Chains A and B, each alone.
Chain A
Amino acid sequence: MNELTLYYLAAMSLMLVGFMGLVWKRNLIKMVLAFTLIDTGAHLFLVALGYLPGATAPIVDDAGMFAQAQSLMVRQGAVVDPVVQALVLTAIVIGVGVTALMLSYVVRIYARRGTLDIAELRRLKW
């Protein structure tokens, strides 16, 4: 098993655990945790996509040069793909925001309804 497959597998299992948690755990906080697991899995998957065994970090000081050199360097295996790393950074930031908002929802729901059970939030239906 090579290194990459391992990353993919890890990402998949993280997401799967998350999905299962999301569907099976009725506690709101556990659901939020499950969601962060999926998020992490997705991020890992993203980074793994651009990973090249043995390559260095994509740090270049001259941006103009980088634009031209990027595809060449990736193909030659000198550096890992910087684009996905940028994406993951963005996605992580968004993930943090979403998680925080979800948790604040949980706090407010508990304050108003006195429950953390998703099955009890069923006033709106049909």
Chain B
Amino acid sequence: MVANLLDPILLFALPMGVAFLLPLIDKLGRSVTHAVHLLVLAAMFGLTGWWTWQLAHGMAPIEIQTGGWAPPIGIALRLGVTEGLLALFAQGAALFGAVYLWGREEHGDIRAIALQLALVVGALGLFMTRDLFNIFVFVEITGIATYALAMLGREDSALEAGFKYMLMGSAASIFLLLGIALLYKHTGHLNLDAMQAALAQGSPAALSVALGLVFMLVLVSFAAELKLFPVNGPGLDMYEGVDPGVSALMVVTSVNGYLYAFYKVLAVFPAEWGTTVSVLGMVTFVGANLMANRQTQVRRMLGYSSSAQVGLLVALLPMVRAGHVHMLPVLLLIANHTFAKSALLWLAGQGEKLSLVEWRGVFSGRTIQRLTLTAAVLAITGLPPFPGFFGKWEVLTDLSAHGGAWWIGAILLGSLLEFGYYFKWLHYAHQGEESDVPQVPVSAQIAPALSAAVLLVGGLGMSLWRFPELANLSLPVAVLLGAGLALVLVRELSSVVSSGLALLVVLGVVGVTVGAGLELNTLAGLFTALALAGGTVTAIAALSVPTLKGAYHGLFLLLLSSVLMVVQSEHSLTFFVGWELMTWTSYLLIAQGREGARPAWVYMLFSGAAGFLLLGGLLVGYAHGVDSFSGMEALTGSAQLAAWSLLVLGILVKIGTVGAHVWAPDAYTESPDVYTAFLSGVISKVPVFALVLVLAHLGTGALTMGGYTFELHHLVAWLGGLTALGMSLLALFQEDAKKLLAYSSVGQLGYVVAGVAILSPLGWAAGLYHAVHHLGFKAMLLLVLAGVIHRTGTRKMYEMGGLIARMPLSFFIAMIGIIALAGVPPLGGFVGKWLLYNALVEEGWLFLAALMMFSSLVAFLYLYRFIHTIFLGQLKTRHREIKEAPLPYLLAEVALLGLVGLVSVWPQAVLSPVNAIAHSYLGGRGLGFEGELVFPGGVVRGSELVTSFGSYDPVVTMLVVALVFVLSAGLLWVSVPRARRVGQLDIAFAGEVPPPPEEIHFAFDFHRPYERVFGAVLRGQAVKFWRGFGDAVEAIAETSRGIYSGDGQTYLVYFFGLAVLLGALQMGL
């Protein structure tokens, strides 16, 4: 056995020996030195990997006593699985770090290399040692190595930061020394195991007072070393001031070392004192993430982020000790932070200290770095498939099983705040023209990419191993994931090739799904069909857009796979993985729009909040041992209400219900034009799917107060109604045709929400029918508009007009679309609304029915404007030569036309699956529905739909309308004399100076009278509210970060102040 011949003490001897030999090795040439440096780290990594592999497969932890001496003379070291994994993270990331620093002359000399090796050794020592005094020694080794490395930097700021950091670090280590001395005095041991044993034998009062003092000393000391609030000032300065290569090394080695050493020391203290530690850590997590939102300097922002992430880990440590949280997810979080933060710091090494604004366009044309930054940001914000997501997921489910609701809330709040600044950076770095910031050497591009690759592969591997349910993906999902990832990686692939490939993949998936027998009569089947139909037409339409390259099509496939993942699973984890995957792929797609960066950021904040609310609801389930939607039926009382409220709230935010709608119109408008069709047609329906599931399994949301029961689904239905009205009114005032349709989309979802929320078979019929039909007509309208924008290059309606002459097919399709939307016979819009009114009247919700009718009138107004302004009236001179929309657009529109036609003439195509769905979900819930349906099944007469209030026959209606149309058209044809064509410029101004062209256009400010009435109450109210909210958050962040005055002595005062405060708390306990 090789392992028996090699002692883990080699891990210390090898790098230290090499470090001392470096001056000699360097005589052979600098590149030899570099090679030796890399080799040493690689050898350490290999050895540690070998041992860890064996340890994970049942070998007993390796115990080492230096020189064969028993403690306290010799030093005891232990290499177990945990220590091995931590060492692997540190060595792996340090290896990449060595690659990064290779190209930096000031960090490429032998002094720097020796110091880097010392840092790795120090971290290893902190992981492995079982001896308290040894911890002090290794803290000093890592500390001194860091201070010295900082001093080697060229920048002035590095000196300032290094000195302040050193003052704080030295004060911290003296506290640690005093604490260790006191512990030794009271236990007679320095070895942690022996000390624990001694303390376990009853603790007399005198000892507990001393122990309290020690606790204070140790906690304050580690708070400073780990950069916890409020003693993280110098740490933040370090991130800003020193070379990011050095701070990355600090993150991967010493910070992890301190963390694990602190974990070991915690074992000495009573478990209940852990709460103090957790509170301090969690305050840091939330506070630092809050303050990071005010940072303009990226490196300092990353410093705040490190503080925050480490704060979270510190908060979790006592919970691991107490057995409330598993060690493995914490290790995943550590790995995630190690690799993601190092990658981010190395990326931030681009150029000299850029502020956020200066980051504009830096990665625009730099494929590798762009991908790396995206991956690292997704990883650090805890999104799937990166390890951080699975770590957080398991931590949260563990916490929910131990009643840690407040901790969960704090973690989710902090994580949301994290979204704010990371996605801001991401959007700055990606947007705009390429900037002239010089490119870094290749080694500095490779290092972060390696970290990102580790995150991706490790995250995927770990997740499949830890959560086998994720491996049961259906073939279509797996194919889409694989193809999507591949296309994303070749992001610059030309639009022709990549759009063709994407379409082939989508068609293949459709083929496989249909071939396997798609069961439409289930909720999953219906939504799968919806997603695939929407996906196919969008993929067809995308053939005609030359600006969308591999990255777009790859993300689109990933998005489609995530939608299928969500709708095909009722298991909470798979659902949420799909949901979050959908969130970030959608974000990146929106950001691809020309002005999409900011709307995408706002989208991400709201979607993040929605996701976390949803997660909160799922966690209520986990607290009661439920891990699926169907299992939630077991919840009762307040748990049921809590789960219901959180889930529904998350869904409503994601849908963009009135109040939370501010993200939606801009995100829809600024997305790439083809993508908007998918966003509106399919993505917006996914939360509807979730709403159906939640209402089906958790009921009406009964809130009982003082003997009176209020069913919250009334509120949801009303919110749906108000959304329909409010968004329709807002759609009136838009000059931008796409924004008009965007508001209209959100408004139409209001009908769907109201229908589903009625929670009756008829209501579901109305809601789900409208959801399917909406895909048909809205995607159609959006694609028509995409074609128009493609040809005219504008979205402003007053810059268009008369396009019927040049784009007659588009006009015809748009006309069908608006008839369908307007809800007049003979098309499906009428069926949907008729069903909805029936359902509302059936429940006796008459006011809501009236509201819905009113808002459907408003839709006429904006639809009229849409078709009139774009297609009718006079053709602009500059549009005289434009052509009909490209063929792929027309093909996709015709396909959608088919869908609209089908569901209009044959509503049963949707209603009979809905019938089956309603039957299976609502059948047994005592909602006055016993399986006998009032609509189609059984009571359908021929093609007629019958409810208790009347009947509607779409086929007859269609025939009648067609007949009337033909007759009246014929009559007009024969009776009206031929019109004389007049050139559009047959007019002249009578010597007046014409006002600006848009003001004389009749379409400008078309609905001014309505705006005078409704505008004041409607326009910008919600935006104003959310902006105020954002300003308030930023103001809090701004005020709080004022405590980091930059004065080294102030920081020391905080340090002593924290000591006094914790001491006082400890004495009070």
B and A form one assembly: yes
Chain A residues within CB distance 8 Å of chain B: 15, 19, 22-24, 26, 28, 31, 35, 38-39, 42, 45-46, 49, 63, 66-67, 71, 83-84, 87, 90-91, 94, 97-98, 101-102, 104-106, 108-109, 112-113, 118-119, 121-126
| Further contacts, 20 of them, CB under 8 A, given A66-B73, A94-B137, A121-B164 | A23-B1052, A23-B1053, A38-B174, A39-B174, A45-B181, A63-B73, A87-B133, A90-B133, A97-B144, A105-B163, A108-B159, A112-B156, A113-B156, A113-B160, A118-B1047, A122-B1047, A124-B157, A124-B1046, A125-B237, A125-B1046
Which residues from chain B contact A84 at a C-beta distance below 8 Å? 181, 184
Find the B residue at minimum CB distance from A98.
B170
Which residues from chain A contact B236 at a C-beta distance below 8 Å? 124
Q: List the 9 closest pairs (A to B, CB-CB), nearest first.
A: A125-B1046, A122-B1046, A124-B237, A121-B160, A105-B163, A94-B140, A49-B185, A118-B1048, A126-B1041
A121 nearest CB across to chain B (Å): 5
Alpha-carbon distance between A118 and B294 when the two chains are bound, in angstroms: 26
Which interface residue of B174, B237, B240, B1056 has the most chain A CB atoms within 10 A?
A: B174
Alpha-carbon distance between A35 and B133 when the two chains are bound, in angstroms: 20
> In the bound complex, do residue B160 and residue A83 qualify as a contact, i.e. CB atoms below 8 Å apart?
no
Which residues from chain A contact B551 at a C-beta distance below 8 Å? none
Which residues from chain B contact A19 at a C-beta distance below 8 Å? 1056
Which residues from chain A contact B166 at a C-beta distance below 8 Å? 98, 101-102, 105
Tally B residues with Cβ within 8 Å of A. Answer: 50
Alpha-carbon distance between A42 and B190 when the two chains are bound, in angstroms: 17
> In the bound complex, do residue A102 and residue B170 qualify as a contact, i.e. CB atoms below 8 Å apart?
yes
Which residues from chain B contact A109 at a C-beta distance below 8 Å? 159-160, 163
> In the bound complex, do residue A71 and residue B188 qualify as a contact, i.e. CB atoms below 8 Å apart?
yes
Which residues from chain B contact A106 at a C-beta distance below 8 Å? 163
Task: Determine if B161 is an interface residue (Cβ-Cβ < 8 Å).
Answer: yes
Task: Determine if B841 is an interface residue (Cβ-Cβ < 8 Å).
Answer: no
Task: Determine if B476 is an interface residue (Cβ-Cβ < 8 Å).
Answer: no
Which residues from chain B contact A102 at a C-beta distance below 8 Å? 163, 166-167, 170
Which residues from chain A contact B687 at a C-beta distance below 8 Å? none
A75 nearest CB across to chain B (Å): 9
Find the A residue at minimum CB distance from B1046.
A125
At the interface, is chain B mostly helix, strand, loop or mixed? Answer: helix
User: What would 30 A/B residue contacts be, using CB atoms closer than 8 Å?
Assistant: A15-B174, A22-B1049, A22-B1052, A23-B1049, A23-B1053, A31-B167, A38-B174, A42-B181, A45-B178, A46-B181, A63-B73, A66-B73, A67-B70, A71-B188, A83-B72, A83-B184, A84-B184, A87-B181, A90-B137, A97-B140, A102-B166, A105-B159, A108-B159, A109-B159, A112-B156, A118-B1048, A122-B1047, A125-B237, A125-B1046, A126-B1044
A114 nearest CB across to chain B (Å): 11
Find the B residue at minimum CB distance from A64.
B69
Alpha-carbon distance between A126 and B69 when the two chains are bound, in angstroms: 49
Q: B residues 1018-1069 with Cβ under 8 Å of A? A: 1041-1042, 1044-1049, 1052-1053, 1056
> In the bound complex, do residue A91 and residue B177 qualify as a contact, i.e. CB atoms below 8 Å apart?
yes
> In the bound complex, do residue B144 and residue A108 qualify as a contact, i.e. CB atoms below 8 Å apart?
no
B1 nearest CB across to chain A (Å): 30
Q: A105-B147, A105-B151, A125-B1044 are in contact. Are A67 and B177 (CB under 8 A)?
A: no
> In the bound complex, do residue A42 and residue B178 qualify as a contact, i.e. CB atoms below 8 Å apart?
yes
Which residues from chain B contact A122 at a C-beta distance below 8 Å? 1045-1047
Alpha-carbon distance between A21 and B1044 when the two chains are bound, in angstroms: 21
Which residues from chain B contact A125 at a C-beta distance below 8 Å? 237, 1044-1047
A81 nearest CB across to chain B (Å): 9
Alpha-carbon distance between A105 and B169 when the two chains are bound, in angstroms: 14
Task: Determine if B148 is an interface residue (Cβ-Cβ < 8 Å).
Answer: yes
Task: Determine if B507 is an interface residue (Cβ-Cβ < 8 Å).
Answer: no
Alpha-carbon distance between A87 and B135 when the two chains are bound, in angstroms: 12
Alpha-carbon distance between A98 and B137 when the two chains are bound, in angstroms: 12
> In the bound complex, do residue B184 and residue A123 qualify as a contact, i.e. CB atoms below 8 Å apart?
no
Alpha-carbon distance between A83 and B174 when the two chains are bound, in angstroms: 18
Task: Determine if B387 is an interface residue (Cβ-Cβ < 8 Å).
Answer: no
Which residues from chain B contact A39 at a C-beta distance below 8 Å? 174
Task: Determine if B171 is an interface residue (Cβ-Cβ < 8 Å).
Answer: yes
Q: Which of B144, B161, B1049 contacts A118 (CB 8 A)?
A: B1049
Q: A105-B162, A109-B163, A126-B1042 are in contact. Are A119 and B70 (CB under 8 A)?
A: no
Which residues from chain A contact B1056 at a C-beta distance below 8 Å? 19, 23
Which residues from chain B contact A38 at a C-beta distance below 8 Å? 171, 174
A86 nearest CB across to chain B (Å): 8
Which residues from chain A contact B144 at a C-beta distance below 8 Å? 94, 97-98, 101
Q: B residues 101-155 with Cβ under 8 Å of A? A: 133, 136-137, 140, 143-144, 147-148, 151
> In the bound complex, do residue B240 and residue A124 qualify as a contact, i.e. CB atoms below 8 Å apart?
yes
Which residues from chain B contact A46 at a C-beta distance below 8 Å? 177, 181
Alpha-carbon distance between A84 and B183 when the two chains are bound, in angstroms: 12
Task: Determine if B241 is an interface residue (Cβ-Cβ < 8 Å).
Answer: yes
Alpha-carbon distance between A26 and B198 when the two chains are bound, in angstroms: 45
> In the bound complex, do residue A26 and residue B1049 qualify as a contact, i.e. CB atoms below 8 Å apart?
yes
Q: A42-B174, A98-B144, A113-B156 are in contact. Are A22 and B184 (CB under 8 A)?
A: no
Alpha-carbon distance between A67 and B167 when the two chains are bound, in angstroms: 38
B68 nearest CB across to chain A (Å): 10
Q: Which of A15, A26, A91, A123 contacts B160 (CB 8 A)?
A: A123
> In the bound complex, do residue A123 and residue B1048 qualify as a contact, i.e. CB atoms below 8 Å apart?
no
Alpha-carbon distance between A31 and B177 when the two chains are bound, in angstroms: 20
Which residues from chain B contact A49 at a C-beta distance below 8 Å? 181, 184-185
Which interface residue of A46, A119, A121, A126 has the most chain B CB atoms within 10 A?
A: A126
B768 nearest CB across to chain A (Å): 52
Find the A residue at minimum CB distance from B67.
A63
Which residues from chain B contact A26 at a C-beta distance below 8 Å? 1049
Alpha-carbon distance between A87 and B162 when the two chains are bound, in angstroms: 27
Alpha-carbon distance between A123 and B240 when the two chains are bound, in angstroms: 10
